Every structure is written in structure tokens, then in C-alpha cells.
């Protein structure tokens, strides 16, 4: 049966009982290499004349099932699995650029993506610049003769600013430039950039797709030809591939993604409303807040506003750290999307590599905190936040 609904695909896509000897749980093909029945078979597979597995850095049945499932979830043609989110970012950006090229980026990016962009500029003279992407004319003026990639986070980490993906994709097509979107904050359940005209969507699968804080992984989806090119170049040769066991854990985690995301969003909305009313909070950044500057855009391109809230506490860095240290239930950690509620201080943690001047331009102050709302009872999360705020 060819399923069409997201909630069904996350459970069934890619599963074949006959191929798995009837096992309901997909097998873990924990092997580095595969045996050929003859020398001619091996030669045919290496030549691309015969389908089949060769070596797990190139492809693996457990990983292939995950790649098929994420492609269905993002409504793309082909998925690729990587050893980490940054392995996916690196393979894509290096695969789409040459020396002298230019990358146009959204106004902010994850700290390690920022570091990679700096490395690419210093070592390979691949330049980049950050742009607000607020209107069509300014985007067109920012595109140069050397621009070969437009790279976007939406929502942006950690300011939660959104980019109108349909608008950017429409302009990029005029210049025949691929648009790459980091969709980690939303997951495919809340936002599908390929449906909005973008070319490649990627995830740190470590986050919402896993959902349990026990996997490091990356996933990417796009057109068959483009993704096959990346698979046989930067993915294969740099080698940042996913292990079969991690793929198996992700297949398990993805089955509950819709249910988990509904709870993350429900909890986050309640907490954002309460944070706005507390006298110790300067401002709250949450796309589901009617006062959020891009609230209408969030409703247009996202199913729901997500489980992440950023907020500025009144005071300075010392006050922000004091607040974090007084929390009891909420854990201080830099990931997101786990069952546990997590909090981090971007200026000194995830974005510490970003020079202060760039960080301030991105909107990351010393008072800004990022809260990944978990699956606990929202009342218990709020009680912990409130007792810590009151202690200040």
C-alpha cells in the first residue's frame, strides 16, 4: 500500500517484511562490507551496472531504509544520512562550491556552521555574507556573479527569526542558484522547505528526529540527481556517514515524531505566554506569539510554532547564568528536541565561536537564553522557571 499521510509514513515507509524475514523491527545490518557471489558481481557493482551493497560507507540496508523514510517525510526524491548534522552541512556546502564562489546566508546560523564558513573562506577563498532576506529587492542586490548557494536557517538559531522560504526560492530560481535550508528547528512535521520551492533540506537528526538524546546524526533530502552527485563525491570521499545502529535508533525515534512535536508545541505556547508576563523577562522570541514580528509568516509556512523559545532576561550575563544555575528540573545542555527540557546560553555556548561584533549583529546578547521545551508536564517546567526567576 502506497501511504500518503505523514503520520503513517513515519512508521511504515521503507519497511518490507519479506526482506526482513518478518521482523517487525527493522534489522540492524551491523557490517562494514558485503560479500559478492562472484568476481564478476563485484566488478558489476563497482561499475554501477548492478544494484547491490558493497561497503557500508557507500550504502547499508538499515541506513537506506532511514534515507527512504526521511525523503518521504520531506516529500523529496532522495535522502542521505550522515554521521552528524555538521557532516551534512559540510558535505553539501563543499559539494556545491568551488574556489572563488560565494554563499549568501540568512542573518544568523548555528555556531559550527559559522565556523565552517570561516574555514572555507580562509582555506578555499569561498566567501560568504549574512543577509536579512527581508525583501526581494535586497536579496537580488546581494546575489553576485559568484553566488552558487543560498543557505538558510528558518527559524534561525537562536533568535527564532524566520525567512520567507517561498520568496527566496522564487528569486533563486531566476538565477539558477540552489537554496539549502536547515530545517532542524521545525522538523518535517512542522515545515517542508521542498514544498516551498527550496532545493535541499537538511537536519541535525540528533534533535527532534531522534527525540531521545542518544544519537548524533544528520539527514539531507533533495532531487535524485543532485543528491546522488553529493553521495558519490563529498559524502563518499570525506566519509561522514551514519552507522547502521544510529540509523536504527533514528528509525525508532521518528515513529513518534508527530506525537512528540504536538506536545513540544503545546508546552512551548503555554510557557511563552507565561514568560511574557513575568517582570524579570525583557522579551520573548517565539514564532507562535501573536506579538512576534513574523507571526503571520510562521502561520503561512509552518504547521505550528515549534518547541523552542528564546528570551532575554533583565540584567547582564551574570544574572542570566545565575538564573540557569538555580534551575532544578531543567537541564543546562546545548542540544534540543529531547524529552527533557534543556536550556543554554548561546553567547557563551553554541555561538561562542562567533566574534562578539557578529554575534550582536545576529541579535545574540549576553542576556539571551534558549529554552528547548521538553515533554514534561508544562506546569512543572513553569514552576522550575518561576522559582529561579523569583530567586533573582
pLDDT digit string, tens, across residues 213-243: 999 999 999 999 999 999 999 999 999 999 9
Active-site hit among 101, 110, 189, 260: 110
pLDDT in tens, 65-117: 999 999 999 999 999 999 999 999 999 999 999 999 999 999 999 999 999 99
Contacts 24+ apart (CB under 8 A), 232-235: 233/95, 234/90, 234/91, 234/92, 234/94, 234/95, 235/80, 235/82, 235/91, 235/95
Collapsed DSSP state (helix, strand, coil) of residue 202: strand
**pLDDT higher than threshold 90 for residue 4:** no
Active-site hit among 9, 101, 164, 182: 182
pTM of the model: 0.95
CB 202, CB 183: distance < 8 Å: yes
Active-site hit among 15, 53, 55, 57: 57
**pLDDT higher than threshold 60 for residue 302:** yes
Residue given cell 515549534 in the structure block: 306
- Under the banding of pLDDT at 50, 70 and 90, the label for residue 157 is very high
- Under the banding of pLDDT at 50, 70 and 90, the label for residue 17 is confident
User: Closest by alpha carbon to 218, among 377, 92, 106?
Assistant: 92
pLDDT over 70 for what percent of the chain?
A: 99
Q: How far apart are CA 181 and CA 191, in angstroms?
A: 11
Collapsed DSSP state (helix, strand, coil) of residue 256: coil
**pLDDT higher than threshold 60 for residue 187:** yes
CB 94, CB 117: distance < 8 Å: no
Confirm whether 57 is a catalytic residue: yes
What local confidence, expressed as pLDDT, does residue 23 receive?
Answer: 86
Active-site hit among 45, 78, 207, 359: 207
What local confidence, expressed as pLDDT, does residue 14 receive?
Answer: 84
Confirm whether 207 is a catalytic residue: yes
Q: How far apart are CA 98 and CA 330, in angstroms?
A: 44
pLDDT over 90 for what percent of the chain?
A: 94
**Domains of the chain (ranges, CATH numbers):** 6-254 (3.40.640.10), 257-391 (3.90.1150.10)
What local confidence, expressed as pLDDT, does residue 2 receive?
Answer: 62
Radius of gyration of the chain (CA): 21
For the chain, give the mean pLDDT. 96
CB 292, CB 283: distance < 8 Å: no
Amino acid at each position: 500500500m502506497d501511504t500518503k499521510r505523514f503520520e503513517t509514513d513515519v512508521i511504515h515507509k521503507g519497511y518490507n517484511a519479506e526482506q526482513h524475514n518478518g521482523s517487525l523491527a527493522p534489522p540492524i545490518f551491523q557490517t562494514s562490507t558485503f560479500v559478492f557471489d562472484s568476481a564478476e558481481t563485484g566488478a558489476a557493482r563497482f561499475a554501477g551496472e548492478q544494484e547491490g551493497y558493497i561497503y557500508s560507507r557507500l550504502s547499508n540496508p538499515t541506513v537506506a531504509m532511514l534515507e527512504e523514510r526521511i525523503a518521504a517525510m520531506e516529500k523529496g526524491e532522495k535522502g542521505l544520512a550522515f554521521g552528524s548534522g555538521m557532516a551534512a552541512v559540510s558535505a553539501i556546502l563543499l559539494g556545491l562550491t568551488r574556489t572563488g564562489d560565494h554563499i549568501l546566508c540568512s542573518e544568523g546560523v548555528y555556531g559550527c556552521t559559522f565556523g565552517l564558513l570561516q574555514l572555507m573562506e580562509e582555506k578555499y577563498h569561498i566567501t560568504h555574507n549574512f543577509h536579512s532576506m527581508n525583501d526581494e529587492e535586497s536579496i537580488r542586490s546581494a546575489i553576485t556573479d559568484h553566488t552558487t548557494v543560498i543557505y538558510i536557517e528558518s527559524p534561525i538559531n537562536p533568535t527564532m527569526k524566520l525567512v520567507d522560504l517561498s520568496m527566496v526560492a522564487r528569486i533563486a530560481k531566476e538565477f539558477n542558484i540552489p537554496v539549502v535550508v536547515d530545517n532542524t528547528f521545525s522538523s518535517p512535521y512542522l515545515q517542508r522547505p521542498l514544498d516551498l520551492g527550496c532545493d535541499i533540506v537538511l537536519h541535525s537528526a540528533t534533535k527532534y528526529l531522534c527525540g531521545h538524546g542518544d544519537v548524533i546524526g544528520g539527514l539531507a533530502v533533495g532531487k535524485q540527481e543532485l543528491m546522488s552527485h553529493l553521495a558519490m563525491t563529498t559524502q563518499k570521499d570525506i566519509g561522514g556517514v551514519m552507522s547502521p545502529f544510529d540509523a536504527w535508533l533514528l528509525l525508532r525515534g521518528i515513529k513518534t515524531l508527530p506525537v512528540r512535536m504536538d506536545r513540544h508545541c503545546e508546552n512551548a505556547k503555554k510557557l511563552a505566554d507565561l514568560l511574557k508576563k513575568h517582570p524579570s523577562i525583557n522579551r520573548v522570541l517565539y514564532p507562535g506569539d501573536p506579538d512576534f514580528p513574523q507571526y503571520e509568516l510562521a502561520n503561512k509556512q509552518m504547521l505550528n510554532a515549534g518547541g523552542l523559545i528564546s528570551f532575554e532576561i533583565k540584567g547582564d550575563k551574570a544574572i542570566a547564568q545565575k538564573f540557569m544555575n538555580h534551575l532544578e528540573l531543567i537541564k543546562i545542555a546545548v542540544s534540543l528536541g529531547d524529552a527533557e527540557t534543556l536550556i543554554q546560553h548561546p553567547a557563551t555556548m553554541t555561538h561562542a565561536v562567533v566574534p562578539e561584533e557578529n554575534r550582536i549583529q545576529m541579535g545574540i546578547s549576553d542576556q539571551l537564553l534558549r529554552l528547548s521545551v521538553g515533554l514534561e508536564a508544562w506546569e512543572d517546567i513553569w514552576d522550575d522557571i518561576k522559582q529561579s526567576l523569583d530567586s533573582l
